[in-house]
Amino acid sequence: MKYFITLAFVVFCNTCFSQTGFIWVKSDTTTKSGSQIYSDTKMFIAETWKSSKSVIQNDDKEGGNILIKGVCVKSNTYSMMLIKYTYAYTVTFKMKNGKYKITIDNVYCENATASDREIKKIEPFDGEDVPEMNAFTTSSLPKKKMIGLMKEVKAELQSIFDSYSVYISKPSSNENW
């Protein structure tokens, strides 16, 4: 029985604390109304992404929800070969009078290609669970470079998260014109 409880505890800890993906969540209060937060969020999206129409997947003004599906492309060189990784992610904005919530999740490597006279498919990876490099996967990055690449992805997504919080805390642009 003691063994079973210890084993269950270890499994529980590994499940709770293992990194299976990245999730950023922030809820905060503001003095703005729900419609002001919605309007500011739409302006933030227009200023942050190249084409707001192409990234917005759901826009529910009455419900106070906006869903974004974005991508970030990171590249790295290895053995004189340029490898491009395309990471997809989801950003959910929720708002109501005096409150907002931003969530960034569903981060995964959607595509990975290398150009060395031909396009090759490279095995995508998530988090620090990177594919092992061996003689048959010479086009993959070493683990250290892959972890560095993940840090770049995390930094880009963290900047979206941080800049939204700053943007919402500023007075609305349409208040003083």
Query: Quick check: 31 and 114 in contact, CB under 8 A?
Result: no
Mean pLDDT along residues 13-38: 73
**What single letter denotes the amino acid at residue 163?**
S
Query: Quick check: 37 and 168 in contact, CB under 8 A?
Result: yes
Higher pLDDT, 80 or 29: 29
> What's the rounded Cα separation, in Å, for the pair 122 and 84?
9
Top mean pLDDT of 10-14, 18-22, 101-105, 116-120 is at: 101-105
> What's the rounded Cα separation, in Å, for the pair 170 and 165?
9
Q: What is the pLDDT of residue 68?
A: 95
Query: Quick check: 61 and 48 in contact, CB under 8 A?
Result: no
Q: pLDDT over 90 for what percent of the chain?
A: 38
Top mean pLDDT of 19-28, 74-83, 133-142, 160-169 is at: 160-169
- Cα–Cα distance list, 68 to 45, 74, 107 (Å): 9, 19, 12
> What's the rounded Cα separation, in Å, for the pair 168 and 173?
11
Confidence of residue 147 (pLDDT cuts 50, 70, 90): confident
Query: Quick check: 56 and 70 in contact, CB under 8 A?
Result: no
| Mean pLDDT, all residues of the chain | 76
Strand, coil or helix: 130: coil
Q: What is the DSSP letter of 23?
A: -
- Cα–Cα distance list, 27 to 1, 57, 151 (Å): 42, 21, 24
Residue pLDDT, tens place only, 62-107: 999 999 999 998 887 766 777 788 888 999 999 999 999 999 998 8
Computed from CA positions of residues 49, 53, 56, 59, in that sequence, does the dihedral angle turn out positive or negative?
positive
Among the ranges given (8-12, 57-61, 102-106, 125-129), the one the predictor scored with the smallest mean pLDDT: 8-12
Domains, in order of start, for the chain? 22-169 (3.30.530.80)
- Tokens standing for 128? 């620090």
Q: What is the model's pTM? A: 0.74
